[in-house]
Amino acid sequence: MTNISDYSKFIVDLRRHMWMAGIEMHLRRLIWQVAVTGKYISAKIHEANRKLAGFKNIHGDDQLTLDRSADEILINQLEYSGFVREYVSEESDKVITFQKGEAKYYVTADPLDGSSLVDTNLSMGTIIGIHIAPLLDTSGRDSMVAAMYITYGPLITMVYSAGKGTHEFVLNREGEYVLSEENITLDEKGSIYGLGGLRKEWTPEHLQYVEFLEAEGYKLRYSGGFVPDINQVLIKRGGVFTYPALKKSPTGKLRLIFELQPMAFLVEQAGGMATDGKSDILSIKPQKLDHRSPIYIGSRFEVEKVKEYLK
């Protein structure tokens, strides 16, 4: 009988995977540092007392104590990593400069996407983008070198890409991120869809697109959290998520720098696409830190199809 420990040689942890992939040393150490930070954020979620911090964040949303805690944990961890030049978070209107010297990366974060779901015990997540140029100087296509998200659910998982495929890791009992799915590849056409925004606020063109999906038999899967909804599209190997332009909000709701660029990077590396309906998300040059954009993201068929309705 083979002892289970005999299989340990087949286990690939995050650091080993990045080393074998030939990722530049400073970048892989930064990715690993963020992954470790996810452990601390997860612990903070378990301690959450669900009380509001008593003030609003700059975007006008109720800011939970949990959001601030996640942001502060990221700031503390990244400041002393030695690799981050600037950090900007969805929870602030300022760019934080850590150091110059040899530090060359510009990091963006949505520290805790879906924090409003904490009292319902649904999944939340952290979204990270890593750039090699100041955020407002160029498009994500030209500046982004890596992206990742961590999902805090029944399992803690981490999905990352450094431009060499999209890969999923699971945090095991020993506190190590071990490879679960390598080179995730989306099917050309999926079977699920997630829809943001109120139906009464949708444009006629978007409504026609949704009616097409319904007629095709797509199954609705929507949690209200961006991380779990994108995670579902990736792990289920296809489909589409959309938060469209609305009648009262033509630029949509989601933020280009903090949410859309990192997810577009991950989905493209998995063979999918992301568009605002006209332009690829990664090709859009942000006009400000709070730049918002509609989003259609997922399998190539569904994303190409929406262009027929919005043109």
Distance CA 221, CA 23 (A): 34
Cα–Cα distances in angstroms (integers) from residue 153 to residues 52, 62, 91, 156, in the given order: 22, 22, 22, 6
On the 0-12 / 13-18 / 19+ scale of CB atoms within 10 A, 45 is: middle
Domain boundaries, the chain: 10-181, 192-310
Distance CA 288, CA 136 (A): 7
Is residue 263 within 8 Å of residue 241, measured between CB atoms? no
Residue 182's H or E segment, with its range, is none
Distance CA 84, CA 71 (A): 15
The candidate with the shortest Cα–Cα distance to 74, out of 115, 39, 23, is: 39
Sequence letter at residue 209: Y
Both tokens of 249, joined, read 């909000």
Half-sphere exposure of 179 (CA within 13 A, CB side): 20
Both tokens of 11, joined, read 């286990």
C-alpha of 264 from chain center: 8
Residue 1 has a pLDDT of: 36
Residues forming a β-bridge with 246 = 202
Q: What's the start-to-end Cα distance of the chain, in Å?
A: 62
Residue 64 has a pLDDT of: 60
Residues forming a β-bridge with 222 = none
Residue 209 has a pLDDT of: 97
Residue 49 has a pLDDT of: 44
Same topology, domains 10-181 and 192-310? Answer is no
CB atoms within 10 A of CB 156: 21
Contacts of 88 (CB under 8 A, 6+ apart): 94, 95, 96, 106, 107, 108, 109, 135, 257, 258, 289
> What fold characterizes domain 10-181?
Fructose-1,6-Bisphosphatase; Chain A, domain 1 (3.30.540)
**Backbone torsions φ then ψ of 184, nearest 5 degrees:** -60, 130
Consecutive sets of 10 residues in the chain, 311 residues long: mean pLDDT of each? 42 92 94 96 76 46 72 93 93 85 90 81 92 93 98 95 97 94 97 95 96 97 93 97 96 97 98 96 96 98 96 80
Distance CA 134, CA 193 (A): 34
> What is the percent of the chain where pLDDT is above 90?
77
Distance CA 9, CA 125 (A): 30
| CATH code for the domain defined by 192-310 | 3.40.190.80
